[in-house]
């Protein structure tokens, strides 16, 4: 029993026990998560030839805090907002909106975001977010899966060589930095909380 309590994701500490209040809090967290994802998508960090966003870092942290179910629900809500034409993604509305944008060059990466949330959230549900080493393994796995999905989609559109050159290589070092940050931030937050 103690094991199952200690393995809950961070957000479980703040969720009410009752059904209606719990559901309302989860809806609030999911909507707040989509706002954070939108802000992180619009936050540009220039590292070399490509503008990076803080979006993958935000997904890592949301997933570690929310656990798998709520994190995946949050990402699906975010995707639904984008599909409905809200300019929530990094290059919207400049490069299009809605389903047309989502089926473009970033489509595989967007699908990969949901996979990332599932992987990191699954790890958080098992208490891996308390250990920098376990968290690093989970976050790195999620990153590789997302990049593979993005690369495969892009390769189908523009070819393997260009996809590797423009869709993977420029992101390797910045994304590894975000993986390292997420792997240390989540355990650090747990370390600051009083022991229960």
Residue 31 lies in a domain: yes
CA max distance for the chain: 53
Residue 180 lies in a domain: yes
Q: Give the model's pLDDT for residue 81.
A: 97
The Cα–Cα gap between 26 and 29 comes to: 5
Q: Give the model's pLDDT for residue 17.
A: 79
Q: Give the model's pLDDT for residue 41.
A: 93
Band (pLDDT 50/70/90 cuts) for residue 2 is: very low
The pLDDT tens digits for 119-171 are 999 999 999 999 999 999 999 999 999 999 999 999 999 999 999 998 899 88
Number of domains in the chain: 1
Whether the pTM exceeds 0.75: the reply is: yes
- For the record, the structure tokens of 34 come out as 């989509």
Band (pLDDT 50/70/90 cuts) for residue 4 is: very low
Mean pLDDT of 98-119: 95
Question: Counting every residue, how long is the chain?
Answer: 196
Residue 65 lies in a domain: yes
Q: Which domain holds residue 133?
A: 2-191
Q: What is the CATH number of the domain that holds 27?
A: 1.10.1760.20
Least Cα distance to 186 among 133, 140, 137, 130 occurs for 130
The CA-based dihedral angle spanning residues 54, 55, 57, 58, taken in that order and rounded to the nearest 10 degrees: 110
- Helix, strand or coil, per DSSP, at residue 50: strand
Residue 196 lies in a domain: no
> Other CB atoms closer than 10 Å to residue 117's CB: what's the count?
30
Alpha-carbon separation of residue 30 from 5, 113, 149 (angstroms): 22, 15, 24
């Amino acid at each position: 029993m103690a094991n199952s309590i200690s393995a809950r994701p961070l957000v479980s500490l703040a969720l009410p026990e009752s059904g209606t209040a719990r559901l309302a809090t989860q809806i609030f967290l999911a909507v707040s998560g989509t706002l954070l994802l939108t802000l992180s998508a619009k936050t540009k960090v220039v590292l070399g030839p490509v503008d990076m966003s803080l979006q993958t870092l935000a997904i890592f942290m949301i997933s570690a805090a929310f656990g798998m179910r709520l994190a995946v629900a949050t990402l699906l809500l975010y995707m639904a907002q984008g599909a409905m034409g809200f300019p929530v993604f990094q290059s919207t509305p400049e490069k299009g909106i809605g389903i047309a944008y989502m089926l473009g060059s970033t489509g595989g990466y967007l699908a990969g975001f949901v996979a990332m949330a599932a992987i990191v959230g699954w790890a958080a549900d098992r208490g891996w977010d308390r250990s920098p080493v376990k968290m690093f393994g989970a976050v790195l796995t999620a990153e590789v899966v997302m990049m593979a999905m993005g690369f495969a989609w892009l390769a189908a559109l523009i070819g393997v060589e260009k996809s590797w050159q423009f869709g993977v290589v420029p992101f390797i070092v910045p994304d590894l930095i975000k993986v390292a940050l997420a792997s240390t931030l989540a355990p650090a937050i747990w370390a600051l909380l009083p022991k229960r």
